[in-house]
Amino acid sequence: MAIAENPLPKKEVERMKQFENVVNSLQEWLTSIPLINKMVPFAQQILIVSLALSAVYQLIALVSFNVARFLVIFTTLGHYGFLLGFWLVLISPMKKWTPYALFAKALLILFPFTYFSINNALVFAMYIFFGYWLLKYTAVSNS
């Protein structure tokens, strides 16, 4: 997929071309693994289910922490499922959904909205920052 002509500065377009080369190399490397090839068609589902597991855990934790204590596996599966789903979606033809996954993950980090810490704010800002740049990349590469 070639980057089309756009109104962005040349330096930024050059960075996006470099990132596209990295994504293409990552795609070649990961698709050489047979298990990954079998999982790529389900990448979007893995990503959505992992975000849903994290959200369900946080909702249950809001209602009753005693029950949530036993469902910690939800947040663990949600975290690792998100990582797996994100990388699978990034190497799949559905890569335009990756920035929205980062935005959703950022929202889940702040979700209970009951407390804010420096750590949460920094992680939230990182997800938003990388989501923004990934959104710019997918918008330019898909046009």
Give pLDDT tens digits for 90-142. 999 999 999 999 999 999 998 877 778 899 899 999 999 999 999 998 888 76
Contact between residue 109 and residue 127 where contact means Cβ atoms under 8 Å apart: yes
Which string of DSSP letters, residue by residue, matches 51-114? HHHHHHHHHHHHH-HHHHGGGHHHHHHHHHHHHHHHHHHHHSTTGGGHHHHHHHHHHHHHTT-S
Residue 111, pLDDT score: 84
- For 41-89, the pLDDT digits (tens) are 999 999 999 999 999 888 888 888 777 777 888 889 999 999 999 999 9
Contact between residue 107 and residue 125 where contact means Cβ atoms under 8 Å apart: no
* Cα–Cα distance list, 26 to 21, 61, 81, 100 (Å): 8, 37, 19, 20
**SS3 at position 53:** helix
Contact between residue 72 and residue 89 where contact means Cβ atoms under 8 Å apart: no
Q: Where are the domains of the chain?
A: 10-142
What lies within 8 Å, CB to CB, of 134 at 6+ separation is 98, 99, 102
Contact between residue 51 and residue 104 where contact means Cβ atoms under 8 Å apart: yes
Q: pTM (2 decimals)? A: 0.86
- Which amino acid is residue 55, in one-letter code? A
Count, residues in the chain: 143
